[in-house]
Chains A and B, each alone.
Chain A
Amino acid sequence: MSDFAGNQTVIEVVYLVASALFILSLRWMSSPSTARRGVRAGELGMVLAIAGTLLHHGIVDYKWIVIALVLGTGIGIPLGRVQMTAVPQRTALSHAFGACCVTLVGAAEFYLRTPNVPPFMMAVLSMEVILGSLTFTGSLMAAGKLQEILPQRPLTYRGQNVVNLSLLGVSIALAAYLVVHPGASHLFPLMAGIPLVFGILMVIPIGGADMPTVISLLNSYAGLSAAAMGFVLDSKLLIIAGALDGSSGFILSVIMSKAMNRSFTNVIFGAFGQVQPSAAAGQEAKNVRSATAEEAASILSAANQVVIVPGYGMAVAQAQHKVRELYDALSRRGVQVRFAIHPVAGRMPGHMNVLLAEADIPYDKLMDMEDINGDFVQTDVALVIGANDVTNPAARNDSTSPIYGMPILDVDKARTVMVIKRGMSPGFAGIDNPLYYSDRTLMLFGDAKSFVGNIVRELGGGGQN
């Protein structure tokens, strides 16, 4: 018996060390120079925690644990090797897996304990299962939309919010009943199943442009459900990890919502981007100026300060490596080139930075919106590649615009603006962009990758400098 108690103390100490390592791991993520040390700390904490758990005296059978660990590793390795453009859907999928684990453990705990579940225990267990279920299907939906298996356009119907909220209400009412009558195990599948439907319905009306907020929010839910699981299992380590993940997701959702000038409730309850009947009317009267790659190259090589504004369209066109060649060619000529990154460029927080880092663009040239917006006035050329709504000056000066108030990159203040675009189609939000009709703006029509490649060729092959 004393041997068991000694074992138990060792496990608790190992968990304590793992918790400290997890906090340090996030602490070291604050700067790129220490971030990889953060990953090592996290890995060490995880290995310690799993090894400590295997010492637990209650474990009578190791066979299935080993099989499951091996299978999980087999699934995890390919998921760790996806392309950088696919990181958002991979992240959504891993939220789904995390939520799946939490929900299944919650269900197992319930069936092992019923009918003897104390009220507070049943309450957190219900929270764990409800949050886990809705995060599971919600994240699968988000992953499907990001992978473009499912339509990215928001799908809405009348009374959507009423239906969704009543479903969630029914599930919470069932949870409340189970708190009072924990023996009513026939109700448990219903309580766990309804949030599965809610998760699907919650993400259906959300469009592609809102994905960064949704992913962050689902991240937060996944963390909170894991923390709830920590309460059920009385595991301090799990409570800590869940609280860290929950607050991380929460902070990122707040940043994303602010970057789009929307509230949480607005993202979840107000489908974006389907109301555009009026904008098409006045279009034919406006003129745009266009330019060739040769003209663009000569303007760029005469500039001192160039700011490149990449958007998700750049990643879709796989143009980031050509953009790096452009960066190299201009830097060689003594042009100062920087990149302006809007917080919602890409499909998840920080996605654009990863895509540019992958193309070997040094991270000290990647500027946040607040740091670069004041510099556009002194910028000779702002080159917009595959970005649209985040450069739309209507967000600043047209109070009737659906994106009015959204913080944007002030590219229209640069001396010359060049926009690489396939055609004049509107962006994700379906809103026309007055930037394109400005007399400072040159439109460069074509595929981002080949157009940037042409500019690079002009810059390299000029020979008369």
Chain B
Amino acid sequence: MSSSLINGLFIFMLAGFIGFEVIRRVSPLLHTPLMSLTNALDAIAVVGAILIVGEHKSTLSTVLGVVAVIAATSNVVGGFLITDRMLKMFKTSRPAKP
């Protein structure tokens, strides 16, 4: 195993623990926007797909990459849009602080 794979495993482990601790604190009130937000963040996979398209190493890889970029971009745009739309609706009955 190369050292970059070992590094990757360390990062995965640490990010997993951070995710666990951070997400445990999210109120059940916001679980739906949470899922649409993580979905949008997960679509960061688009960067991998962009590289495959841009490097243009073979026709097959470019075609697969283009479809992948389309799928991921729609998640980025749709995910952030709907998360913000949902969060905008959450209002409190207490008067806002001045």
User: A residues touching B (Cβ–Cβ < 8 Å)?
Assistant: 18, 22-23, 25-27, 29-32, 35-36, 38-39, 42-43, 45-46, 49-50, 53-54, 56, 58-62, 64-65, 67-69, 71-73, 75-82, 84, 87, 90-91, 94-95, 97-98, 100-102, 104-105, 107-109, 111-112, 118, 120-121, 215-216, 219, 222-223, 226-227, 229-231, 233-249, 251-252, 255, 341, 343, 348-351, 353-354, 357-358, 360, 362-366, 368
Query: Can you give 9 contacting A-B residue pairs, CB < 8 Å?
Result: A35-B90, A39-B37, A53-B51, A75-B78, A80-B77, A94-B79, A101-B69, A102-B68, A105-B65
Whole-angstrom distance between the Cβ of B31 and the nearest chain A Cβ: 3
A244 and B36: CB pair below 8 A?
no
B88 and A244: CB pair below 8 A?
no
User: B residues touching A (Cβ–Cβ < 8 Å)?
Assistant: 1-2, 4-5, 7-8, 11-12, 15-16, 18-20, 22-58, 60-62, 64-94
Whole-angstrom distance between the Cβ of B76 and the nearest chain A Cβ: 6
How distant is the Cα of A62 from the Cα of B69 in the complex, in angstroms? 13
Q: A53-B47, A104-B65, A108-B52 are known contacts. Are A29 and B24 too (CB-CB below 8 A)?
A: no
Partner of B62, one of A22, A64, A251: A64
Whole-angstrom distance between the Cβ of A196 and the nearest chain B Cβ: 15
B54 and A60: CB pair below 8 A?
yes
Partner of A97, one of B18, B27, B47, B72: B72
- Most chain A CB atoms below 10 A, which of B2, B7, B43: B43
How distant is the Cα of A348 from the Cα of B28 in the complex, in angstroms? 11
B80 and A39: CB pair below 8 A?
yes
Whole-angstrom distance between the Cβ of A315 and the nearest chain B Cβ: 12
Closest to B52 in A: A108
Closest to B13 in A: A243
Whole-angstrom distance between the Cβ of B53 and the nearest chain A Cβ: 5
B50 and A54: CB pair below 8 A?
yes
Partner of B58, one of A35, A112, A242: A112
User: DSSP majority for the A interface?
Assistant: helix
Q: A248-B38, A251-B24, A353-B32 are known contacts. Are A239 and B8 too (CB-CB below 8 A)?
A: yes
Q: A30-B26, A239-B15 are known contacts. Are A244 and B37 too (CB-CB below 8 A)?
A: no
A101 and B31: CB pair below 8 A?
no
B35 and A79: CB pair below 8 A?
no
How distant is the Cα of A42 from the Cα of B33 in the complex, in angstroms? 13
How distant is the Cα of A30 from the Cα of B73 in the complex, in angstroms? 26
Whole-angstrom distance between the Cβ of B68 and the nearest chain A Cβ: 4
B43 and A100: CB pair below 8 A?
no
How distant is the Cα of A51 from the Cα of B81 in the complex, in angstroms? 19
A32 and B15: CB pair below 8 A?
no
* A residues less than 8 Å from B86 (CB atoms): 84, 87, 354, 357
Partner of B32, one of A18, A32, A121, A354: A354
Q: A244-B41, A364-B93 are known contacts. Are A76 and B33 too (CB-CB below 8 A)?
A: no
Whole-angstrom distance between the Cβ of B12 and the nearest chain A Cβ: 5
How distant is the Cα of A90 from the Cα of B81 in the complex, in angstroms? 12
Q: A23-B22, A64-B62 are known contacts. Are A223 and B54 too (CB-CB below 8 A)?
A: no
Q: A223-B42, A238-B48 are in contact. List 10 more A-B contacts (CB 8 A).
A: A64-B62, A68-B53, A73-B77, A75-B70, A101-B72, A227-B12, A241-B45, A242-B42, A247-B19, A248-B23
Closest to A70 in B: B73
Q: A231-B5, A244-B38 are known contacts. Are A76 and B76 too (CB-CB below 8 A)?
A: yes
- Most chain A CB atoms below 10 A, which of B35, B36, B39, B43: B35
B88 and A36: CB pair below 8 A?
yes
A77 and B81: CB pair below 8 A?
yes
- Most chain A CB atoms below 10 A, which of B5, B52, B82: B82
Closest to B69 in A: A68
Closest to A69 in B: B73
Closest to A102 in B: B45
Closest to B86 in A: A354
Q: A42-B80, A68-B69, A245-B38 are known contacts. Are A120 and B74 too (CB-CB below 8 A)?
A: no
B16 and A247: CB pair below 8 A?
yes
B19 and A244: CB pair below 8 A?
yes
A91 and B72: CB pair below 8 A?
no
How distant is the Cα of A72 from the Cα of B54 in the complex, in angstroms? 16
How distant is the Cα of A360 from the Cα of B91 in the complex, in angstroms? 7
Closest to B1 in A: A120
How distant is the Cα of A336 from the Cα of B15 in the complex, in angstroms? 43
Whole-angstrom distance between the Cβ of B26 and the nearest chain A Cβ: 5
Whole-angstrom distance between the Cβ of A388 and the nearest chain B Cβ: 20
How distant is the Cα of A213 from the Cα of B44 in the complex, in angstroms? 24
How distant is the Cα of A73 from the Cα of B51 in the complex, in angstroms? 18
* A residues less than 8 Å from B42 (CB atoms): 98, 222-223, 226, 241-242, 244-245
How distant is the Cα of A354 from the Cα of B86 in the complex, in angstroms? 7
